[in-house]
Amino acid sequence: MLTRPIPRTAELLPVIGLGTWQAFDVGASGSARAPLREVVRTLAAHGGRVVDSSPMYGRAESVVGDLVAEQADLPPLFYATKVWTSGRAEGIRQMEASFARMRVERMDLLQIHNLLDWRTHTATLQDWKAAGRVRYIGVTHYHAGAHADLERAIRTGEYDFVQVNFSVGEPEAAERVLPAAIETRTAVLANRPLGQGALFRGVRGKPLPSWAAEFDCASWSQFFLKWILGHPAVTCVIPGTGDPAHMADDLAAGTGRLPDEPMRRRMAEYLRAL
């Protein structure tokens, strides 16, 4: 697995992680959790570390905490979650609950979800970072309409990470958020990398172009993920899945060669022509 440094510390992160929205919002039954257990094992076995969740994702935080606790032989993971509420006291209550659900004493990354009451939570997160309760802090959004606000937030220099929607189907972050991340030495997590399935619908029944082999691409999932990783600002991509086979396919995008900028343009043009 390829790795990239978190700009402000040089700590290396594997370039493919795991998002838990929807797929990990399941009950306690063995049949519901068995494939998710294998997803986590597959992530770790292939060198992945980043697991991203949120209290907005229903039971996902608890499921992650339970599944990792059941597998004591897993290597250390990089836990990321979010605060998604208004008010200082409510934010603290919610973050404490996330720690308990994910079964951690120190969170690797705590992010302000969708910039909700971000100025209030920033003060709390800075205090918790200084106290060693969190290692990194960040801000997130999932919609291009918020990119100006996201850029404004990261240009304050207060955040170690920004999480933003970025894919060949939603490339707008490259206009202002990613350049700002480079300038402020802010790590980037790319969410919605597969367009919630929309990118696959656009290529259904179509073969990969033969020239995809030039950047070690063997599937459409890898095609989409490698396009994202071809941008130098991106630290880690976090596709969400509940299928171990899909997880393995996604992780393969983090190996081998990556497309350069001319190839990324060719990839985007090819998809537009389909």
> Could you read off the pLDDT of 9-22 as tens digits, one per residue?
999 999 999 999 99
Per-residue DSSP letter, 139: E
Query: Is 203 part of any domain?
Result: no
pTM of the model as a whole: 0.97
- Residue-wise burial string across 230-247, b where 16 or more C-beta atoms lie within 10 A, e elsewhere: bbebbbbbbbbbbebebb
CATH number at residue 112: 3.20.20.100
Domain count, the chain: 1
Domain that holds residue 145: 12-195+234-256
Query: Is 215 part of any domain?
Result: no
- The predicted pLDDT at position 251 comes to 98
Query: Is 36 part of any domain?
Result: yes
Query: Is 2 part of any domain?
Result: no
- The predicted pLDDT at position 196 comes to 86
Query: Is 202 part of any domain?
Result: no
Q: Which positions of the chain have pLDDT values less than 50?
A: none
- The predicted pLDDT at position 147 comes to 98
Query: Is 241 part of any domain?
Result: yes
pLDDT tens string 72-115: 999 999 999 999 999 999 999 999 999 999 999 999 999 999 99
Per-residue DSSP letter, 16: B
| 140: β partners | 163
Closest to 199 (Cα-Cα) out of 176, 152, 167, 175: 167
Query: Is 4 part of any domain?
Result: no
Query: Is 220 part of any domain?
Result: no
